[in-house]
Amino acid sequence: MIDMSLLITAFVALFVVIDPIGTTPVFMALTSGIEAKRRQNIALRACVIAALLLLVFGLLGDSVLQFLGISLPAFRVAGGILLFLTALDMLFDRRSQRRKDQVETAQADEDHSDDPSIFPLAIPLIAGPGSIATIILLTGQTNGDPLLLTGYLLVMIAVVCAVFLMFLVAPALERILGDIGILVATRLLGMLLAALSVQFVLDGITGFLQAANTPS
> What confidence tens digit (pLDDT) does each residue in 39-80 have?
999 999 999 999 999 999 999 987 887 888 888 788 788 878
Element (H, E) at 169: none
For residue 121, which of 81, 78, 77, 170 has the smallest C-alpha distance?
Answer: 170
Closest to 6 in 3D by CA, of 130, 151, 140, 144: 151
DSSP letter, residue 93: T
* C-alpha–C-alpha distance, residues 163 and 21, integer Å: 8
3-state SS assignment for residue 185: helix
Q: Which amino acid is at 116?
A: P
Rounded to two decimals, the pTM is 0.75
Q: Look up residue 3 and give its DSSP letter.
A: -
Rounded Cα distance, 98 and 208, in Å: 34
Secondary structure of residue 42 in the 3-state scheme:
helix
Q: Which of 214, 162, 212, 196 is nearest to 19 (CA)?
A: 162
Give 10 or 116, the one with higher predicted confidence.
10
Residues with Cβ within 8 Å of residue 162, at least 6 apart in sequence: 15, 20
- 120 cis-preceded (ω within 30 degrees of 0): yes
Please give the C-alpha separations between residue 214 and each of 140, 201, 207, 210, 211, in angstroms, as whole numbers.
Answer: 20, 20, 11, 6, 5
pLDDT, tens digit, 9 for 90 and up, residues 19-34: 898 788 778 877 877 8
Give residue-wise pLDDT tens across range 114-156: 688 998 889 878 998 789 889 998 998 898 899 999 999 999 9
pLDDT at 95: 59
Q: How confident is the model at residue 104 (pLDDT cuts 50, 70, 90)?
A: low
Assign residue 142 a region (left: φ > 0; alpha: ψ between -120 and 50; beta: otherwise): alpha
Query: Rounded to 5, what percent of the chain is helix, strand, coil?
Result: 85, 0, 15
